[in-house]
Amino acid sequence: MRIPIHPDGWPFIAIALVFNFVFFMLSPWAGGLFAPLTIWCIAFFRDPERTTPEGKDLVISPADGRLLPITHAVPPREVETSAEPRLRLSIFMDIFDVHVNRVPIDGRVTALSYREGRFFNASFDKASEHNERMSIRIEPEEKGDAEGLTVIQIAGLVARRIKCDLAQGQQVRRGERFGIIRFGSRLDIYLPPGATVLAGENQRVRAGETILAKLK
């Protein structure tokens, strides 16, 4: 049976448990004070199963969190040839959200690009431009005349580690896990022209479950 903890979390959980045990040995009072931090560490790396909606051309949320104001912005140039502004959906993950990221559409990874950067609060718009990020371009499985979308993993104020398990050319399925960001962060989704947004600003969304948009 699968334990609903992301593999990256076990070293941190083990360290927290060891410290908690030592504190309890030194003083039950100190151990009790440290226990909430250990519990939070376990909760942070939780990786629950999700049921992904069926349907053609749906864009599913790649992250848990709160949908920030929807805007038009130019996608990162490292994975996007067009300089035209596109609809951007941004999801802010606080330290209590599930931080495992999931693929938003069926398709193929056509570009990956990591860029070092700064660590502004992930809820600020300038985080999209200046913060450390991993950019992922995905072309739809049944492309037709539809263009792909771009997903950006963005480090936040306390986040210092972006992990992406995808490879260029890889076929991906909607709802599959593809990475994680530690600790507190943001994901941006740049939609192709003609996409229809189905989620609302400030809505709470769930990775692999909430429908964000529909492609043309």
**Helix boundaries (H) for the chain:** 10-26, 28-44, 126-130
Under 8 Å CB-to-CB from 191, ≥6 apart: which residues?
59, 86, 87, 88, 89, 149, 197, 213, 215
CA gap 93, 184 in Å, rounded:
6
CA gap 69, 161 in Å, rounded:
25
The three-state secondary structure class of 42 is: helix
CA gap 107, 137 in Å, rounded:
10
Q: Which of 61, 90, 128, 185 is catalytic?
A: 185
**Please, which residues bridge with residue 113 across strands?**
135
CA gap 3, 67 in Å, rounded:
28
Q: Does 185 participate in catalysis according to the annotation?
A: yes
The residues annotated as belonging to the active site are 185
